[in-house]
Chain A
Amino acid sequence: MSLRLILAAAVLAAAPAGAVVAQDAARGASLAAHNCANCHGADGRSQTEGIPSLAGQQPGYMTVQLILFREGIRDVPAMLAFAADLPDTDIEDLSAYFASLPPGPPDERRPRDTALYAAGEALAGPHLCGVCHLPDFVGRAQIPRLAGQREEFLVHAMTGYRDGSRVGVDTQMNDAVRGLSDGDIAALAHYLSQRD
């Protein structure tokens, strides 16, 4: 995306009320069908290992992540090709579309392991996950939905935050997972992935 387009978008966004174009989820659906569905699932529920589900994701979170991909700040090589030239309007429409989809777990979600679930639940409280992600883990604004996310993706994300290979929009997630063992992360991921 050219700087000129970014400027145009920023100027548009700074215009008075009424001049701001609303996000167009229908347009987002058409963009997603061509660019996202292959990996993230036709209905936004990923059936592919290592790829997150996007259905019901917070639009503010998705918008920021796509900007970070586009601008090379969040380094996920697989996303770079898709995000590199994405105009702001496409990002907002895509985010609105995925937010409009009903969230849900992958079809092959493994059955609940009662002990692991309980261990994850016991960690979520003292680690204050629900303070930002909300007690039902649906997220808000730039803070993502976690409930029903793919388990191995949650492990990947938390491990990245813990080990410093991923930094969020701010560094709170790095602080929140610091000191967690691999076992702790596995328990939290299982607990969150089993929430609906």
Chain B
Amino acid sequence: MTPLSEVPVGALRLPAGFSATVFAHGIPGARMMTEGPNGTIFVGTRAIGRVYAVTRNADGTTRTRIIAQRLPQPNGLVMVGNSLFVFAINRVLRYDNIEANLDNVPAPVELTEAFGLPTEAEHGGNHGWKFATLGPDGRIYTNVGANCNICEIDRDRFALLVSFKPDGSDRRIEARGIRNSVGMALHPVTHELWATNNGRDWAGNDWPNDTLHRVRRSGEDHGFPFCSSRSADPQYNAGRNCSEFVQPAALLGPHVASLGMRFYTGTMFPEQYRNQIFIARRGSWNRERLTGYDVVVARTDAQGNVTGIEDFMTGLRDDANQRFLDRPVDIHVMRDGSLLVSGEQMGAIYRITYRQ
């Protein structure tokens, strides 16, 4: 476990008035976060197979428990009432009344068959991990990534955003042709679904961009594999005109790995951040020069159009030496309006606060 002294909180750069502290550390592989009604922060992982529960002690320190382990990439977590749902590729587990049972976690309810998501084998090792969030309509929203870098996919089964009733019934395709989303959120006012998407690899350093998608109507086609980041794929376009697809709401940078995204619904930050989208960019690998390794804000106007992407949390990418200090994966808005950012590389969670 990375000792606190090695967590690079001191390297973080934020706009004036903001500051960062280490909320919790010693959480190897920390990725997606969700919060229980009593304030427990649940943290998912990928290869290490664990789900953690982070609680706050009376003195402000935190305590981390492992509440599940040996799961296949338990990346997607969502709370529905008092129940924690864990999405581990196609396995779906529901831990009822979890916050009352952190020290003695009972066997979960198995919902794998009810959800019927593609198995690890069907994904062929590609993009099987899930993100999950709860809509104001009570439905669970998640992703089914493409089962390849790029190929002729079954477009009814892969590269989708989907929603379900919490019992796994009533699957609805929210968006087609989205290669691999590992972050989505419903707009707090319009209730439209927004999602980040990871663009394909091995098509050059600067193409395509990762993208931000706005889903105005369920079931519309966003173009993968034919088109990516508003232009034709050099190999898989199949003669399709990219204008026939829903265009991304914003381009987020080539190969940046745009993952967790959340609307800022708190009141601690200045008014200009209200309902704006915070996006964690885990950082590139399929590119000669590093890019990403930061948190950006997508600014939207009253009509919901993205007017710009601006830096929020930087300092984790060392351009001169082409090294990175941590890899931000998810964002969580706490009830007090502070922002948590998970750092997968260092197994840490940073907390960002604002004071005038």
Q: Which residues of A contact B (CB under 8 A)?
A: 3, 6-7, 9-17, 20, 22, 60, 63-64, 67-68, 71-73, 88, 92, 128, 131-132, 134, 140-142, 164, 167-172, 174-176, 178
Contact = CB atoms under 8 A, between A and B. Distances in A.
B345 A128 contact: no
A13 B25 contact: yes
Given A17-B5, A20-B3, A73-B47, A6 B66 contact: yes
A127 B286 CA distance: 8
A13 B1 contact: yes
A14 B24 contact: yes
A14 B26 contact: yes
A72 B64 contact: no
Interface string B287-330: 11010000000000000000000000000000000110000000
B65 A9 contact: no
B126 interface: yes
Contacts of B149: 175, 178
Contacts of A175: 149, 201, 286
Contact of A73 (B24, B49, B65, B124): B49
Given A10-B26, A68-B48, A16 B61 contact: yes
Q: From DSSP, what is the main secondary structure of chain B's interface residues?
A: loop
A12 B284 CA distance: 32
A10 B201 CA distance: 36
Contact of B47 (A13, A14, A17, A168): A168
Given A22-B3, A128-B288, 13 more contacts: A10-B26, A10-B27, A10-B66, A12-B26, A13-B64, A14-B26, A14-B61, A14-B63, A20-B1, A73-B47, A167-B125, A171-B127, A176-B285
Contacts of A3: 66, 69
A9 B65 CA distance: 10
A88 B286 CA distance: 33
B61 A131 contact: no
B46 interface: yes
A20 B4 contact: yes
Contacts of B29: 64, 169
Contacts of B125: 164, 167, 171, 174
A9 B3 contact: no
A16 B46 CA distance: 26
A171 B147 CA distance: 12
B118 interface: no
Interface in B269-287: 284-287
A12 B65 CA distance: 11
Nearest to A74: B47
Contacts of A22: 3
A68 B46 CA distance: 11
Contacts of A64: 28-29, 47-48
Contacts of A174: 125-126
Contacts of A178: 149
Nearest to A19: B4
25 contacts: A3-B66, A6-B69, A10-B52, A10-B66, A11-B64, A13-B27, A14-B27, A14-B54, A15-B61, A16-B61, A17-B5, A22-B3, A60-B2, A64-B28, A73-B48, A73-B49, A128-B287, A131-B285, A131-B287, A167-B125, A169-B29, A169-B46, A169-B48, A171-B125, A175-B149
Tell me which of B284, B286, B287 has the highest count of chain A C-beta atoms within 10 A of its own C-beta.
B286
A10 B64 contact: yes
B110 to A, nearest CB: 20
Contacts of A7: 65-66
A141 B327 CA distance: 12
B66 to A, nearest CB: 6
Nearest to A6: B66
Nearest to A173: B285
B189 to A, nearest CB: 35
A-B pairs with the 9 shortest C-beta distances?
A13-B26, A13-B1, A17-B4, A14-B64, A14-B26, A169-B47, A20-B3, A164-B125, A10-B64
Contacts of A168: 47
A132 B285 contact: yes
B70 interface: yes
B62 interface: yes
Contacts of B47: 64, 68, 73, 167-170
A9 B1 contact: yes
Nearest to B284: A131
A169 B126 CA distance: 13
Given A14-B24, A15-B61, A68-B48, A172 B1 contact: no
